[in-house]
Amino acid sequence: MTHPPASASKATPLRITPFLLVVAMLFVGFLITANILAVKIARIGIFTVPAAIVVFPLTYLFDDVLTEVWGYAASRIVIWTGFLANALVVFFIECAIALPGVVPGQDAAFRSVLGGTPRIVIASFVAYLAGEFLNSYVLARLKVATEGRFLWLRTIGSTVVGQSVDTALFISIAFTGILAPHVLLATIAGVAVLKICYEVIATPLTYAIVTALKHHEHSDVYDRETVFSPIPFRQVFSALKGTAA
């Protein structure tokens, strides 16, 4: 049985590096792109899905990379950064929609493409936070449990949990009362299966990125003593205490 080096077993201060910033940027970029594309409903085979499915699963891939290489703490920061960035995009889109257009018919077209109902926006935010944090948590726990072996098990297993919860929450909050119950369940199952298949197909890419980054960054964090609260209350209180002192 192989074991991680002693230095990898203990939590170390997060070191901000150019590659960490690039991965964080890609995560946030894919997230915002997915939320813009989600307004279009497309058909893939027998499945009816949001067009965002072409890019949204990549946020899970990069969440896996963040947690596997830099640990849950790094993933937590980037997840909240993505949430804030998406909230700002939604806010400024609504500001733009409120401005009177000059071209006839432009206002209606602009709103139909970029505007979102409060119910859809809330569903998106709740599903995103629950799914991404669960994905990162499950991967971090599995990494410790498997002593760093079976990366494929961690990436696929965490995606099954995270994407299933994300899909179930989003579709339930957004479409309960609009879709018939059997259609609602079929849509949840279909979208979740497609997202998980996406992760399975992308596993070689995940392996390549993780291997390259671990080698370059000399980072392979094991979250043995991590506090897995989505909101790092302990760190916030410590920072406030230090500022007050």
- Reported as a single tens digit per residue, the pLDDT across 214-237 is 999 999 999 998 889 998 766 655
pLDDT for 127: 94
pLDDT in tens, the chain (245 residues): 444 544 444 455 678 899 999 999 999 999 999 888 887 878 877 777 788 888 988 999 999 999 999 999 999 999 999 999 999 999 999 899 888 888 888 888 888 878 777 888 898 999 999 999 999 999 999 999 999 999 999 999 999 999 999 999 998 998 888 878 888 888 888 888 888 998 899 999 999 999 999 999 999 999 998 889 998 766 655 545 554 54
- Reported as a single tens digit per residue, the pLDDT across 48-79 is 778 888 898 899 999 999 999 999 999 999 99
Decide: 163 and 57 in contact? Cβ < 8 Å.
Answer: yes
Percentage with pLDDT > 70 across the chain: 89
Decide: 64 and 207 in contact? Cβ < 8 Å.
Answer: no
pLDDT for 4: 52
pLDDT for 91: 92
Structure tokens at 42: 């497309």
Domains and CATH numbers, the chain: 6-98+105-244 (1.10.1760)
Q: Tell me how far apart the alpha carbons of residues 31 and 177 are, in angstroms, rounded to a whole number.
A: 27
pTM: 0.86
Which of 122, 144, 126, 123 lies closest to 228 in space, CA to CA?
144
pLDDT for 186: 87
pLDDT for 9: 43
